[in-house]
Amino acid sequence: MNRATGKRLGIAALVALMAVTLVSTAMSGTKGKRKQADTAVAKLRNAEGKPAAKVRLREGRDGSVRVAVRARGLTPGFHGFHIHETGVCEAPSESADGETGSFLSAGGHFARGDQGHGSHAGDMPPLFATRDGKARAAFVIDSYRVRELTAGDGSAIMIHSDPDNSANIPDRYRSSEADEPGPDADTLKTGDSGTRVACGVARDKR
């Protein structure tokens, strides 16, 4: 091997060593600055302003969201549990249609396009309250991202007074608007979940 060839090989080895060092440093920096999970928390209150529930949403690497909820002061049985489109929880308040009631300021269910109830992005599994009025649940959902709920005017998390039919409408049911099988307008909007009994705004906790 002549001196010129040896010199070139030495330079090449040095460049390779520098490249390995840079890659190792970059990977070390990435580990040290690992992306924090998108997390949101909502503290729900009832129409009298008393604490009713706490909901925590944490997004995983695969985009799914783990929801954990603890509630109290509910009537025993199942309750509709949804995300609503506007992060405002006023009781009493007025809806866009002029109707008055608790937490109507939160608007309708969080949805995309022409989604109907049962397929709304904000439809979640019903909560079950035991005889002491307490409910506890944890589940994973992938119909929304945490950032969607906290962006813009935000979103509200709502507990309703009645069970959610989860879009289960047998043909024997008759619409109140027409004498034919199928859901009526209220069922299409809310799943017959009744009034809104607890509301809280989803807030970013990163």
- pLDDT for position 34: 42
Residue ranges of the chain with per-residue pLDDT less than 70: 1-36, 170-190, 206
For 154-203, how does the pLDDT look when each residue is reduced to its tens digit (9 = 90+)? 999 999 999 988 777 766 666 555 666 666 666 666 678 889 999 999 99
Burial of 79 (0-12, 13-18, 19+ CB in 10 A): buried
Q: Record the pTM.
A: 0.76
b/e map 144-180, b = 16+ CB within 10 Å:
bbbebbbeeebbbbbbbbbbbbeeebeeeeeeeeeee
Handedness of CA 122, 81, 153, 57 (dihedral sign): negative
d(C-alpha 94, C-alpha 170), whole Å: 33
Pairing mode, strands 93-94 and 123-129: unpaired
Q: Where would I find the H helices in the chain?
A: 3-32, 146-150, 185-190
Give 94-123 as a DSSP string: E-TTS-EETTGGG-SB---TTPPTTS-TTE
